[in-house]
Amino acid sequence: MKQEEVFKIFRETNALLSGHFELRSGLHSDQFFQCALVLQYPQIAEKLCKAVVQKMRAEKGHTLKVDGVISPALGGIPVGHELGRVLNVKAIFAEKQDNKLVLRRAFEIKPGQHFVVAEDVITRGGRVQETIDIVTARGGIVEAVAVLVDRSGGRASFKHPVFSLLQWEPQTWEPANCPMCKQGSKAVHPGS
């Protein structure tokens, strides 16, 4: 799937927003990917996630070994669930407890199990790294990171290959340097 097609899908579902936003990373931006709006359509979610899996398989080929998919809650859950369905493996998630991602709900990662970490959007990659740490702390092996949108411009770096449908770096600012804030606009945080 080409980037132009992915952009078109996000625009048609109103999942690419324009305005003044505070990202989870704390940065401000004039563009925001609201992946929930594209993922609310199961047929589109299936198409996008199949495309990510095709990219992984094309690069990793027969070396792609996956026992499960894990994603950070909340935005990564539908992506992880759909990737798990496409890969025919379990899909689990980590969720916040005391402002830190943890594995709950009797989900298990056994030593030696291979996982794909799934997320909807990454900017700096903090939640993806927290999820990677959960897998490795339990002796699991991270095969890859799969995301719909890598808005880091490729700067979110992990020890594992990253597969994304869209790699794009919209302009971001630290709040103190945000031109929209300087004009009196207040940033909104629409969530992921």
Domain containing 167 equals 3-182
Average the pLDDT over each of 1-5, 15-19, 48-52, 122-126 and give the range with the smallest value.
122-126
In-domain check, residue 190: no
- Which tens digits make up the pLDDT trace of 59-106? 887 788 999 999 999 889 999 999 999 999 999 999 999 989 999 999
Q: Please give the model's pTM, rounded to 2 decimal places.
A: 0.86
- Which tens digits make up the pLDDT trace of 161-179? 999 999 888 888 999 999 9
The number of distinct structural domains making up the chain is 1
**What is the rounded average pLDDT for all residues in the chain?**
91
Q: What is the CATH number of the domain that holds 13?
A: 3.40.50.2020
In-domain check, residue 192: no
Question: What contacts 152, CB < 8 A, 6 or more positions away?
Answer: 122, 123, 124, 125, 169
In-domain check, residue 137: yes
Average confidence (pLDDT) over 36-49: 95
In-domain check, residue 97: yes
In-domain check, residue 11: yes
- Which tens digits make up the pLDDT trace of 110-154? 999 999 999 998 988 889 999 999 999 999 999 999 999 998 877
pLDDT at 37: 93
* Cα(39)–Cα(140) distance, integer angstroms: 28
pLDDT at 191: 64
In-domain check, residue 150: yes
Is residue 14's pLDDT more than 70? yes
In-domain check, residue 23: yes
C-alpha atoms less than 13 angstroms from C-alpha of 189 in its C-beta half-sphere: 8
In-domain check, residue 188: no
